[in-house]
Copies of this chain bind each other. A is one copy, B any other.
Amino acid sequence: MAPARPSHPHREIAWWGWGDPDRARSLPEGLNGLLRDALGVRDGRPAPASLEALQLTPVRLPAPAREALTAIVGPGHARADQEARVRHLAGKSTIDLLRLRRAGVLTAPDLVVTPASHEEVLALLSECAARRVAVVPFGGGTSVVGGLRAEAAKLAGTVALDVGRLDALVDLDEESRLAVLEPGLRGPEAEALLGARGYTLGHFPQSWEYATLGGFAAARSSGQASAGYGRFDERVLALRLATPAGTLTTGRAPRSAAGPDLRQLVLGSEGTLGVITELTVAVDPAPAARVYEGWRLPSFPTGAAVLRRLAQDGPPATVLRLSDEAETALGLARPGALGADPAGGGCLAIIGWEGRPEDVEARRAATAAVVRAAGGEPVPGAGEGWAEGRYSAPYLRDALLDAGALVETLETATFWSRVPGLYAAVSAALRNSLTEQGSPPAILCHISHVYAAGASLYFTVACAQLPDPVAQWRRAKAAVGDAILGAGGSITHHHGVGSDHREHYAREVGPLGMEALRAVKRSLDPEGILNPGILLT
């Protein structure tokens, strides 16, 4: 087939917050009172009005380096203007957004390059390695773990390498159900190109509207339909990686016994080993039917047992999630109706099925029997409500930050037998740290992804912003990291490590594992130009 590309230019994400800048956002009425009365949120801190007014670090990149890099991609594709630098200086974590809201100089890349081919990426990496210039690979810019805040003080400058022009559906192998895709495609663009051929990636994380396939792979993303389609990293069967030392290609079969699986070394490498320039990903026929239902379970442990039963013994579901009592009471599973509890107590589970209509109906009916037997009751409209609002929660955060609340999410995972202990430990760490700092929080949680052997826990925290909200959140987050490691969890299930989780990641992996990863990095990136300070210490 001839490569196919998106029919429209990439939509630009709001530089000052999440998502479509034209989409109006305001807080649901019920929430305003809650913020004021329960959390003591008082002083608003609205987002900056103008991009031009932001103060950025001066450009450090020597002119000869800039000229050499510009020569590789062409003058229209190497930018150093204020807008390009602002749009590539950070991701979308709450810390990233808070930094934009406070006075001060923001560290920004010196140059933004947008290569059009694997060969151009190789040439850029080679040039930057020779000149000891840091390279920050950039996809959708949606990292929520500081994945774009590389630390390049020891190098001769920083270049953001934006893969946005690598955005083709290169090939579709219908027999093997594999698509060859480029990393700069955003979620909806890839779905549109594949949908025109009758296929889906089945990958729908909350960042789907703006995140890119390269980022999904590099940061091991997991989508809301992971119970059915699996994680993104499980669907990547071949990769091409451009590194300062050359090209690494891996993946000749679904599975192989030919040594360690090098795909699994690239997946999760977060731009520290190279730039993914092509991915071969499993695709599924687009489902003819999609049904999502809400169920109220008597308690979080009861609901967790139902999800575990479904993950271990079926019937198989496509979407499985369970809000705890607090999240259910606030209605966060349906951001459009926030503040109104749709379930009337207990814990709201969202269970969805996608596929052929007769299969969907059979699985739905069999699942209903399982859930009812555990004391579950249907919550009419809750499934559809969840589906409608599934990408909306991040929009709310901007309005909450405007109002003076500190709000952020974090996630972890472990084996089932450790889930209750992990839930308790993270909740206590958040509550204790934020309360001690004088900002008692609201803590909401849901089980966001399930496996036969375990599950992930996804927490949302809200409290009043203190005078230094960045330090406030860093302190709480450090306490949570300690709690996660102490309870046997992983420091991240699907957000990645970035710079925020680096210290706890090193403890999770241990000194020998870190030394092995550093050894790999030295072999592919001998000058250490790729994402310094990200992932690896």
Chain A contacts to B: CB under 8 angstroms: 173, 175-178, 219-222, 231, 233-234, 237, 243, 245-250, 252-270, 282, 308, 312, 412-418, 449, 451-454, 456, 488-497, 501, 505, 508-513, 515-520, 522-524, 535
- Copies per complex of this chain: 2
The answer on a CB contact under 8 Å between B220 and A453 is: no
Given contacts A260-B264, A510-B249, whether A255 and B535 have CB atoms under 8 Å apart is: no
Closest to A226 in B: B255
Determine the residue in chain B with the shortest Cβ distance to A502.
Answer: B259
Q: A176-B454, A509-B262 are in contact. Are A256 and B516 (CB under 8 A)?
A: no
B residues in contact with A252, CB < 8 Å: 413-415, 488-490, 508
Of all chain B residues, which has the CB nearest A512? B248
Chain B contacts of A219 at CB under 8 A? Answer: 257
Bound complex: CA A527 to CA B485 (Å):
33
Q: Which of B222, B264, B416 contacts A257 (CB 8 A)?
A: B222
- Determine the residue in chain B with the shortest Cβ distance to A415: B176
CA distance A312 to B451 in the complex (A): 20
Beyond A508-B252, A519-B523, is A416–B175 a contact (Cβ under 8 Å)?
Answer: yes
Pick the contact of A264: B265, B416, B454 (CB < 8 A): B265
Please determine whether A220 and B257 come into contact, CB atoms closer than 8 angstroms: yes
Q: Is the CB of A177 within 8 A of B259?
A: no
Identify which of B492, B512, B518 contacts A247 (C-beta below 8 A).
B512
* Nearest chain B residue, comparing its CB with the CB of A269: B260
A/B interface sample: 6 pairs, CB < 8 A:
A176-B417, A176-B453, A245-B512, A252-B415, A252-B488, A258-B268
Please give, as numbers and ranges, the residues of chain B lying within 8 Å of A231 by CB-CB distance: 255
Known: A269-B260, A282-B453, A493-B257. A513 touches B250 (CB 8 A): yes
Which of chain B's residues has its CB closest to A501's CB?
B258
Which chain B residue shows the least CB distance to A221?
B257
Contact status of A256 and B177, CB under 8 A, knowing A512-B246, A513-B248, A524-B516: no
Q: How far is the CB of A92 from chain B (nearest CB, A)?
A: 16
Residue among B177, B497, B508, B510 making CB contact with A312, cutoff 8 Å: B177
Do A453 and B258 have beta carbons less than 8 Å apart?
Answer: no
A173's nearest neighbour on chain B, judged by CB, is B417
A453 with B178: CB separation less than 8 A: yes
How many angstroms between the C-alpha atoms of A237 and B490 in the bound complex?
Answer: 13
> Is B253 a contact of A414 with CB atoms below 8 Å?
yes
How far does the alpha carbon of A262 sit from the alpha carbon of B456 in the complex, in Å?
Answer: 19
Q: Is the CB of B282 within 8 A of A452?
A: yes
Residues in B with CB closer than 8 Å to A523 are 512, 515-516, 518-519
Residues of B within 8 A of A510 (CB): 248-249
User: What residues of chain B lie closer than 8 Å to A237, measured between beta carbons?
Assistant: 415, 453
**CB nearest to A256 among chain B residues:** B490
How far is B518's CA from A518's CA once the two chains are assembled, in angstroms?
13
Report whether A267 and B258 are in contact in the complex, using a CB–CB cutoff of 8 Å: no
Q: Which residue of B lies closest to A247 (CB)?
A: B512
Contacts of A249 in B (CB 8 A): 510
Q: How far apart are A121's CB and chain B's nearest CB, in angstroms?
A: 15
- Which residues does chain B contribute within 8 Å of A243, judged by CB atoms? 512
15 more contacts with CB within 8 A, not counting A260-B264, A520-B520, are A173-B416, A173-B417, A175-B308, A177-B312, A231-B255, A248-B512, A253-B493, A256-B492, A258-B505, A260-B517, A261-B268, A262-B509, A262-B517, A265-B516, A519-B519
- Knowing A178-B415, A259-B517 are in contact, say whether A453-B222 is a contact too (CB < 8 A): no
- Docked complex Cα distance between A515 and B264 (Å): 16
Chain B residues with CB under 8 A of A176: 415-418, 453-454
Residues of B within 8 A of A413 (CB): 252-256
Given contacts A248-B513, A452-B282, contact A258 B490 (CB under 8 A): yes
CB-defined contacts of A513 to chain B, threshold 8 Å: 248, 250, 262
Which residue in chain B gives the minimum CB-CB distance to A263?
A: B264
Closest beta carbon of chain B to A242's beta carbon, Å:
11
Q: Is the CB of A254 within 8 A of B496?
A: no
